[in-house]
Amino acid sequence: MARKPASPLQLGRPTAPAASPEAAVLDRVPNPHKGVAYLVRFTAPEFTSLCPITGQPDFAHLVIDYVPGAWLVESKALKLFLASFRNHGAFHEDCTLAIGKRLVREIRPVYLRIGGYWYPRGGIPIDVFWQTGKLPKGLWLPDQGVAPYRGRG
């Protein structure tokens, strides 16, 4: 949604949870190493959202890798953004892509990939992957480290 005006970040002060992913603010900060190709990884092993049909909780292990451009996503803001999905009803594919696309819109990374490793629903795990941009030549991109489903934990 809309960028927050140039006001203090959510970092370092009490912040109320957002009512929805659309209302959540994703603060960004200048990249102090702009022009250097390096990888940033966020792992959210306890991501939750709601099934849009049943209202039951869905759980995922998210791995977000990105190569910053001019901006970094501020980690507290990312945590609050991800938490805003707890009462949000959407399918696994929609949640995973909405997170990736919102990050791209807000921080304009050189490269971003997101892996959504969803725990089984109806006995079938659903894993969702999306990427954008081009990985800089020679940059090490490690495996996301989440094994195929065998009773994750």
What residues are labeled active site? 51, 58
CA distance linking residue 93 with residue 104, whole number of Å: 17
Three-state DSSP class for 60? strand
Tokens of 101: 């696309």
Q: Which amino acid is at 27?
A: D
Whole-angstrom Cα distance, residue 148 to residue 141? 19
Strands (E), the chain: 28-30, 40-50, 57-67, 71-73, 111-118, 127-133
User: Which residue type does 30 have?
Assistant: P
From residue 17, give the alpha-carbon distance in Å to each of 93, 96, 138: 23, 20, 39
The residue count for the chain: 153
For residues 89 and 51, the answer to whether their CB atoms sit within 8 Å is yes
